[in-house]
A and B are shown apart, each in its own frame.
Chain A
Amino acid sequence: MNGEPDRAGKAAGIEPFVSVEHIVKRFTTADGSLVAVDDVSFSVARGEFVSLIGPSGCGKSTLFNIIGGLLADYDGAIRVGGEAIRGTHGEIGMVFQEESTFPWRNVLENVAFPLEIAGVPKGERHERARHFIDLVGLGGFERRQPSELSGGMRQRVAIARTLAAAPQILLMDEPFAALDEQTRLLLGDKVLQIQQTLRQTTLLITHNITEAVQLSDRIIVMTYRPGRVKRIVDIDLPRPRTSAVVSSTAFGRHVAEIWNDLREEASRGMRDDERQLRGGAER
């Protein structure tokens, strides 16, 4: 920050709010030690939307769990506002890939959950929960049970629940992976709208190139195992954006550029899988 003009300069003149510094994560497997994440560093500025993209097996989900504080036992540091953090942290709100609404709570009670945990009185937490339910476009569904909603709606409930905790950073792990492409694009619009309103610092983990380009200010491209930062791409598409941006030539150029980077990594992953299967067959 103040004392490090060179690093601030690297992030195009914006000071880093979240810094991920030299993260290394090893897993012990039956065949020995596996390096899942190898010296990954990047930063996210306040209000910025950054996506982390990579093929399966690049350690994306591992990084999600490390940054969110669910996974301890790694080397390196995570800093928020310059302060190193370990373990789960109120500053970071997580949205999971898997369906994660509480099926025994209605929409309102789901979204109010973090406020209930924080001891906010009922009237106030319901009022605040309603605000976030409206924000994700689910006004009128407060009393519905998750089982009555579609997958996309449930994922919006989960996003509203995380936002209700007022985190400084929204951390999402492929939140739309289970949804069809159309729903995904429309939910992307919703996320863009929310981003517009809240100026929420967001780190999205995804394997979907169009989603990453549609939403992000910057995209961090990861390599296949061990996961390293391959390249950081600035997305200069104008804001405010909508899903209509997918038809622009600039969008197509970005997608092509990132696919170029990813193709090599994805095919390396595929070859690796095949080799393992063959090796298993020979044994």
Chain B
Amino acid sequence: MNSSQWGPSALGLGTAVATAAVLEALIRGGAINAYIVPLPSQVVLAFERVLVEENVVHRFLLTTAETLVAGALITVVGIGLGVLLHRFRLIRAACETWVAAFASAPVVLMYPLFLVIFGRSATTIVMMGFVAALPPVILKTLEGLAGTRPVLIDVGRSFSVTRSQMFWKIMLPAALPTVFVGLRLGLIFAMINIVGVEFLINFGGLGQLINELAERYDLPGTYAAIGFVVLVSVLFFYVTERIERWLRPA
């Protein structure tokens, strides 16, 4: 272990601590209103309260599980649709622009419709996350497959591979890094929408907790709860990176 390995994380942590310290000083000095922005030290103290009194671990697991289910759905459906669009030129020509347009639509506003269909339940939350996160996975899968270097396909042809070998042994592995960019984006979209819908329909995991704490005007608690949302995001980032390295070492 040398300093160059610790450097980046030390700089990151240092910056966070320094920012908090400056904020703390500005609030204590009266430059920022303490009723609008809570003291960082209070936010840190609130973590304990949120853990003990608000059953945050349970909510964290709930939001994580919802994101996981949505993530599994976008992986299967998103990659599947991406492959379909790549395989059939007509479908691609017909749909690609629509999918891209859908990617930038504020899908979260469709939650009343989903409430009607699935009720005030975890299903609504998961489906919202799934639908919002689907376009980047489809588009990146398509991009990855279309971007397979022609010479690799020629290598496959020169060894007379079958159609399915061409897909599983050449095109999919070649596309994998791009597919994973889509999956990572998709998981972020899914989590944002899941927490957002939890907040909006006041149901389930961390989003509901944030809603409750904000209603009580417990700002340090709210920020502490948001900290756990960040933790979910970090967890998924770490896991996807591990899976990618396991699937495609390079």
A residues neighboring B (CB under 8 Å): 68-70, 88-90, 92-94, 96, 98-100, 102-104, 106, 113-114, 116-117, 145-147, 162, 165
Query: Quick check: A70 and B157 within 8 Å, CB to CB?
Result: yes
Query: Quick check: B248 and A93 within 8 Å, CB to CB?
Result: no
Query: Quick check: A99 and B151 within 8 Å, CB to CB?
Result: yes
Additional A-B contacts beyond A69-B158, A114-B159, A145-B250 (13; CB < 8 A): A88-B157, A93-B158, A94-B154, A94-B155, A96-B154, A98-B149, A102-B155, A102-B170, A104-B173, A106-B249, A117-B161, A117-B165, A146-B250
Query: Quick check: A94 and B249 within 8 Å, CB to CB?
Result: no
Query: Quick check: B160 and A100 within 8 Å, CB to CB?
Result: no
Q: Nearest A residue to B155 by beta-carbon distance?
A: A100
Q: Nearest A residue to B248 by beta-carbon distance?
A: A104
CB contact list, B82-131 vs A, under 8 A = none
Write out the residue numbers on chain A whose beta carbons fall within 8 Å of the beta carbon of B151: 96, 98-100
Q: Nearest A residue to B159 by beta-carbon distance?
A: A114
| Number of cross-chain contacts by CB at 8 Å | 55
Q: Is B152 an interface residue (CB 8 A)?
A: yes
Bound form: Cα–Cα A117–B165 in Å = 8
Write out the residue numbers on chain A whose beta carbons fall within 8 Å of the beta carbon of B154: 70, 94, 96, 100
Query: Quick check: A102 and B173 within 8 Å, CB to CB?
Result: yes
Known: A104-B174, A104-B250. A88 touches B155 (CB 8 A): no
Write out the residue numbers on chain A whose beta carbons fall within 8 Å of the beta carbon of B62: none
Q: Is B176 an interface residue (CB 8 A)?
A: yes
B residues neighboring A (CB under 8 Å): 149, 151-152, 154-155, 157-161, 165, 169-170, 173-174, 176, 248-250
Bound form: Cα–Cα A114–B249 in Å = 20
Query: Quick check: A96 and B155 within 8 Å, CB to CB?
Result: yes
Write out the residue numbers on chain B whose beta carbons fall within 8 Å of the beta carbon of A94: 154-155, 158
Sampled A-B contacts (7; CB under 8 Å): A88-B159, A100-B154, A100-B155, A104-B250, A106-B249, A113-B159, A165-B159
Bound form: Cα–Cα A61–B160 in Å = 20
Q: Nearest A residue to B247 by beta-carbon distance?
A: A104
Of all A-B residue pairs in the complex, the 6 with the closest CB atoms, nearest first, are: A94-B158, A98-B151, A104-B248, A104-B173, A114-B159, A100-B151
Write out the residue numbers on chain A whose beta carbons fall within 8 Å of the beta carbon of B152: 100, 102
Bound form: Cα–Cα A162–B151 in Å = 14
Bound form: Cα–Cα A66–B196 in Å = 58
Write out the residue numbers on chain B whose beta carbons fall within 8 Å of the beta carbon of A88: 157-160
Least Cβ–Cβ distance between B199 and chain A, in angstroms = 40
Bound form: Cα–Cα A90–B161 in Å = 11
Q: Nearest A residue to B170 by beta-carbon distance?
A: A102
Bound form: Cα–Cα A104–B177 in Å = 10
Q: Which of A99, A117, A147 has the most CB of B within 10 A?
A: A117
- Among A68, A102, A103, A106, the residue within 8 A (CB) of B158 is A68
Write out the residue numbers on chain B whose beta carbons fall within 8 Å of the beta carbon of A116: 169
Write out the residue numbers on chain A whose beta carbons fall within 8 Å of the beta carbon of B176: 104
Bound form: Cα–Cα A162–B158 in Å = 9
Q: Nearest B residue to A110 by beta-carbon distance?
A: B155
Write out the residue numbers on chain A whose beta carbons fall within 8 Å of the beta carbon of B159: 88, 113-114, 117, 165
Bound form: Cα–Cα A278–B26 in Å = 70
Least Cβ–Cβ distance between B61 and chain A, in angstroms = 34
Q: Nearest A residue to B176 by beta-carbon distance?
A: A104
Write out the residue numbers on chain B whose beta carbons fall within 8 Å of the beta carbon of A69: 157-158
Bound form: Cα–Cα A117–B161 in Å = 7
Least Cβ–Cβ distance between A19 and chain B, in angstroms = 20
Write out the residue numbers on chain B whose beta carbons fall within 8 Å of the beta carbon of A165: 159
Bound form: Cα–Cα A113–B165 in Å = 11
Write out the residue numbers on chain A whose beta carbons fall within 8 Å of the beta carbon of B149: 98
Bound form: Cα–Cα A186–B161 in Å = 33
Q: Which of A89, A94, A102, A104 has the most CB of B within 10 A?
A: A104
Write out the residue numbers on chain A whose beta carbons fall within 8 Å of the beta carbon of B158: 68-70, 88, 92-94, 162
Known: A96-B155, A99-B151, A102-B152. A90 touches B160 (CB 8 A): yes
Bound form: Cα–Cα A251–B174 in Å = 43
Query: Quick check: A103 and B160 within 8 Å, CB to CB?
Result: no
Bound form: Cα–Cα A96–B152 in Å = 10
Q: Which of B151, B155, B165 has the most CB of A within 10 A?
A: B155
Least Cβ–Cβ distance between A194 and chain B, in angstroms = 19
Write out the residue numbers on chain B whose beta carbons fall within 8 Å of the beta carbon of A100: 151-152, 154-155
